[in-house]
Amino acid sequence: MKYAYYPGCSLHSTGIEYDMSSQLVAGKLGVELKEIPDWNCCGASAGHTTNHLLGLALPARNLAIAEKEGLDVMAPCASCYNRMKTSEVAVKSSEETKAKVAEVTEMEYEGKVGVKSALEVFVKEAGLDAIKSLAVKNLGGMKIAAYYGCLLVRPVGIGFDDPENPMTMDDMVTALGGEAVDWPFKTECCGASLPTAREMVGLKLVYDILTMAQSAGAEAIVTACPLCFMNLDMRQNDLNKKVDNANFQLPVFYFTELMAIAFGEKPAKTGVRKHFVDTSSVLAKYNLK
């Protein structure tokens, strides 16, 4: 398996752990990742809510570069994935859009290659059997809430998993010996950039998600998106300061970090030491140091 790799802006900065661990997991699973040369930002939600065409064109430029190399794209970030998917579908379904996008990007993108999320590539395609056979460590029943966020499973009808109760990450957790807790907020929105742009509105969303995970008995949350990760991990401190009675200390992982650790990588190499919320005690509890 070989993919054009689209890390997106976050994986080169705030989401660096996702990048590190994705590379490790890819190596173990024999997935070859070739970074898209000179890729650009997908525009995130700011792009398409400012200019619809721009929102389609920014991801299309990256898809066009990948298409030249004949490779499908793997985009770990849910937002990038959603933007690229939207662009892919728009170009495939309308000649007019395709022409317009080509005019803006000054590149041809025919829709011959598409985009997949890291979850799709590393779990769905690789298969649970392969994951189990590569695992040398067991999550030992760690209670984990799989949090997918909203964009990974949307638009409905196009995504790779159920829009209301996705299971890909839960299955991965179970395959690695963890206990995937059943909880109802798997696809609630974390607010994306709202916690930055409109702090108190955004923080409420994060608060609700963390509270629900906690009351479902989770000892950790696992995510597949750098935006979700940043909101859930970095904002716990803010919440503890700003909200009465809030006292969160809930470790948040990228699913790739847990996979890499189970595959025998040293935790430090996966990036778990870079988190805001301490991960060492929960890892220690399950002998995953």
Binding site for another protein (CB under 8 A): 9-10, 12-16, 38-41, 43-54, 57-58, 61, 100, 103-106, 150-151, 154-156, 162-165, 184-185, 187-189, 191-194, 196-199, 201, 204-205, 212, 215, 234, 237, 274, 276
**Closest distance of CB 178 from another protein, Å:** 21
**Closest distance of CB 164 from another protein, Å:** 3
- Least Cα distance to 255 among 216, 224, 279 occurs for 224
Please say which residue, 22 or 105, places its beta carbon nearer to another protein.
105
Please say which residue, 93 or 281, places its beta carbon nearer to another protein.
93
Please say which residue, 30 or 184, places its beta carbon nearer to another protein.
184
Please say which residue, 125 or 162, places its beta carbon nearer to another protein.
162
Q: Are 123 and 131 in contact (CB under 8 A)?
A: yes
Q: At what angle are helices 16-29 and 226-242 packed, to 10 degrees?
A: 140
Structure-token match 């990007």, residue found: 105
**Closest distance of CB 167 from another protein, Å:** 11
Buried b (16+ CB within 10 A) or exposed e, 83-96: bbbbbbbbbeeeee
**Closest distance of CB 221 from another protein, Å:** 17
Helices (H), 158-254: 168-175, 194-197, 199-215, 226-242
What is the Cα–Cα distance from 142 to 17, expressed in whole angstroms?
21
What is the Cα–Cα distance from 271 to 255, expressed in whole angstroms?
12
Please say which residue, 66 or 150, places its beta carbon nearer to another protein.
150
**Closest distance of CB 153 from another protein, Å:** 8
Structure-token match 């301490």, residue found: 278
If one counts every other C-beta atom within 10 angstroms of the C-beta of residue 277, the result is 19
Please say which residue, 35 or 127, places its beta carbon nearer to another protein.
35
The DSSP secondary-structure symbol of 249 reads -
**Closest distance of CB 276 from another protein, Å:** 7
